[in-house]
Structure 1
Amino acid sequence: MHRIPLSARPIPRLALAGVLAVSALLGLVVAPASVSFADDTIGMAGAPITEAGTNGRTRFSYQMTPGQQVDDAYVVTNTGTVAQTFTVFATDAFNSEDGGYGLLDTGVTPTDAGSWVRFGGAAAPQSIPLEPGASQTVPFSVIAPADAAPGDHAAGLVVSAVSPDGQVVVDRRVGTRLYVRVPGELQPNLTISSITSSYAPSLNPLDGETTVTFTVKNAGNVALGANMVIGVKALFGIGTGDLVREELAEMLPRSTRTVSVVVPGVGQWGYLNPYVSMAPTVDPEALDPGPLTVVNRDTVLIAVPWILVILILLGLAVWLWMRFSRRRDEKNAKAWIEFTEAEARRKAAGGEELVDAGAGAGAGASAGSSAPPGAGGR
Structure 2
Amino acid sequence: MFVFSVVRGVVGLVAAVLVVTAVPVSAPAQAADDDRVTWSVVPADASGPDGRRVVDLELEPGERATERVAVTNHSADEVTFALSANDGYLTERGSFDMRPSAVPPTDGGAWITVPSEVVVGPGETEVVPFEVTSPADAVPGDHPAGVAASVLSGGEMQVESRVGVRVNLRTPGEVVASMDAKLLDTSFTQGRGLLEPGELVVRYAVVNDGAVALRTTSQVRAESTFGGPAAAAPTGETLEVLPGGRREVTVTVRGVWPVGPFGVEAVVSAAMAEGGPDVPVPADVTLADTAWALPLPHLLVLLALTLVAWAVRRALRVRRARLDRLLERARAEGRAEAMAPAG
TM class by smaller structure? 0.7 to 0.9
Per-residue deviation, 1:289: 4.3
- Please point out which of 22, 25, 30 is paired with 1:31: 22
For residues 57 and 294 of structure 1, do their structure 2 counterparts lie closer, same or farther at Cα, with a shift above 3 Å needed?
Answer: farther
Quick check: 1:205–1:268 contact (8 Å CA) kept in 2?
no
Q: 1:181 aligns with which of 170, 174, 190?
A: 170
Asked whether the 8 Å contact 1:27–1:104 carries over to 2, the reply is no
Q: Is the 8 A contact 1:225 1:280 kept in 2?
A: yes
- Residue 334 of structure 2 corresponds to none
Most deviating of 238-247 and 107-116: 238-247
Report the 3-state secondary structure (helix = DSSP H, G, I; strand = E; otherwise coil) of the residue aligned with 1:258: strand
- Report the CA distance between 1:69 and its aligned residue: 1.3
The structural deviation recorded for 1:308 is 6.0
Q: Which runs of 5+ in 1 are unaligned?
A: 120-124, 322-378
Corresponding position of 1:93: 88
Percent of paired sites with the same residue:
29
SS in 2 for 1:115: helix
Q: Indicate conservation of the 8 Å contact 1:27/1:103, yes or no.
A: no
CA separation of 1:143/1:28 partners in 2, compared to 1, >3 Å: closer, same or farther?
farther
CA–CA separation in structure 2 for the residues paired with 1:65 and 1:195: 39
| Distance change (3 Å), C-alpha of 1:216 and 1:7 | same
Query: Quick one: which amino acid aligns to residue 16 of structure 2?
Result: L
Name the amino acid aligned to 1:35. A
**Partners in 2 of 1:77 and 1:180 — Cα distance?**
24
CA contact (8 A) 2:190 2:199 kept: yes
The separation in 1 between residues aligned to 2:6 and 2:244, in whole angstroms, is 30
Superposition deviation, residue 205 in structure 1:
6.3
Q: Does 1:102 align with 2:97?
A: yes
- Say whether residues 1:78 and 2:73 are aligned partners: yes
Question: Matched residues in 2 for 1:174 and 1:88: separation?
Answer: 10
Q: Distance between the aligned counterparts of 1:304 and 1:211, measured in 2? A: 14
- Which residue does 1:132 correspond to in 2? 122
- State how far apart, in whole Å, the 1-side matches of 2:111 and 2:150 are: 19
Aligned equivalent of 1:198: 187
SS of 1:26's equivalent in the other structure is strand
- Do the aligned partners of 1:195 and 1:297 also contact (CA within 8 Å) in 2? no
Query: Based on CA coordinates, which of the two structures has the bigger radius of gyration?
Result: 1
CA RMSD of aligned residues (A): 3.2
Contact map agreement 1:231 1:244 (CA 8 A) in 2: no
Q: 1:238 to 1:144 in 2, by over 3 A?
A: farther
1:239: Cα distance to partner?
5.8
Moved more, 26-35 or 222-231: 26-35
In structure 2, distance between residues paired with 1:178 and 1:84: 24
Distance 1:116 1:29 in 2: 24
Give aligned pairs, total: 303
Residue 300 of structure 1, aligned match among 290, 307, 310: 290
Which segment drifts farther, 270-279 or 30-39?
30-39
Q: Structure 2 counterpart of 1:228, which letter?
A: S
Alpha-carbon spacing, 1:166–1:184, altered in 2? closer, same or farther (3 Å): closer
Are the counterparts in 1 of residues 213 and 276 from structure 2 also a CA contact under 8 Å? no
Residue 137 (structure 2) pairs with residue 147 (structure 1): yes
| Aligned equivalent of 1:42 | 37
What residue is the counterpart of 1:271 in the other structure?
Answer: 261
Distance 1:158-1:27 versus aligned 2 partners, 3 A rule: farther
Give me the whole-angstrom Cα distance separating, in 2, the residues matched to 1:236 and 1:152.
47
| Mapped partners of 2:52, 2:78: distance in 1 | 27
Please say if residues 95 and 101 of structure 1, whose CA atoms lie closer than 8 Å, have aligned partners that are also in contact.
yes
SS in 2 for 1:254: coil
Q: Deviations over 1:271-313 (max 9, x none)?
A: 31222233324444x4344342443322222334456668599
Q: What SS is found at the alignment partner of 2:268?
A: strand
Does 2:228 match 1:233?
A: no
Bigger share in helix = 1
Q: Relative to structure 1, is the Cα distance of residues 24 and 281 closer, same or farther in structure 2, using a 3 angstrom cutoff?
A: same
Partner of 1:358: none
Q: Which residue, out of 151, 171, 175, partners 2:160?
A: 171
